Structure 1
Amino acid sequence: MRSVWLHFWLRRAVVLLAIYWAGMLVGVSFLATLAKFQAPSLTMPVALDVGRATFHLFNRVEWGCALALLVLVFLTGKRLRFRLPLVLLLIGLLVLQTFWLLPGMDARIDLLLRGQPLPTEKLSLHQIYFYCELLKGILLFWLGCS
């Protein structure tokens, strides 16, 4: 009986954490970012600097959520291990963002702030970051609804 209750609460914790993370992701990546660039009193250099600080802080928060989800999924037992690939994919996206996209976007922002021309790209790092955020949102809602 005890393991049934433990499993019940662990499952609820996975769902709540996934939905909580998804809500933060929507708030930070989609709403706050759009609002920041529509504020007429915010200059582009300041908006870019605020965005950089916001996304670096949020990245650390996401790592905490990802590691907590990983632990919770392992604790839920064999019946819920189907969630493990979703969590590992989320962690893979975070690795991509942390070690490639954020540093690359920081370098582009530094060039912009110094008034230097940006190199041309077929698909910008910001676009790739956006698609990663979109995929993370889908995975988190899926994880939260499963």
Structure 2
Amino acid sequence: MSPPLAVATAVTFVWLGMVLAISFLETPLKFRAPEVTLPVGLGIGRVVFRALNAVEAALAVVLTIAGLLGSATSRGVGVGAVAVVILVVQVVVVRPALARRSDRVLAGEDPPRSRGHYAYIGLEVGKVIALLTTGILLLSW
């Protein structure tokens, strides 16, 4: 395996691990902790997901460059691109809608439940599948 493909593989699995740890472990558990109110949980979530998305963006750039430099298979690059597109949709489309709702909650309002969380979760599942598939394809190259 060439050094760029080794980097692409490592980055893919680091990114996958971060998404699994934060989105599917930390986030649901945060709201089960004693004395964590909805506003506190939302405030923590905003900070955590802003940081996660920033790191994901950096990893996406490294993955893209390393995959292209390492002459990864077109399937590997294509599936990796799916993860990058999902991230862009989450950050540009879904997160702003979630932020507007959380702004209302933090302002003391009681807005109706949002379907945006379900969209975000669905996209996270898609991203996990894309990253896992990318990592497997890169390992088999």
Name the TM-score, length of structure 2 as normaliser.
0.89
Q: CA RMSD in A?
A: 1.5
Structure 1 alignment gaps of length 5 or more: 1-6
Matches within 5 A, 1:19-30: 19-30=13-24
Structure 2 alignment gaps of length 5 or more: none
Contact residue 64 and residue 77 of structure 2 kept, 8 A: yes
Identical residues among aligned pairs (%) = 29
Matches within 5 A, 1:11-90: 11-77=5-71, 80-90=73-83
Correspondence for 2:102: 109
- Count residues with an aligned counterpart: 137
Q: Give the counterpart letter for 1:8 in structure 2.
A: S
Q: Considering only CA atoms, is the larger Rg found in Structure 1 or Structure 2?
A: 1
Contact residue 97 and residue 129 of structure 1 kept, 8 A: yes
1:80 Cα deviation from its structure 2 partner: 2.0
2-structure distance, mates of 1:141, 1:133: 12
Correspondence for 1:98: 91
Contact residue 73 and residue 81 of structure 1 kept, 8 A: no
Correspondence for 1:4: none
2-structure distance, mates of 1:16, 1:75: 15
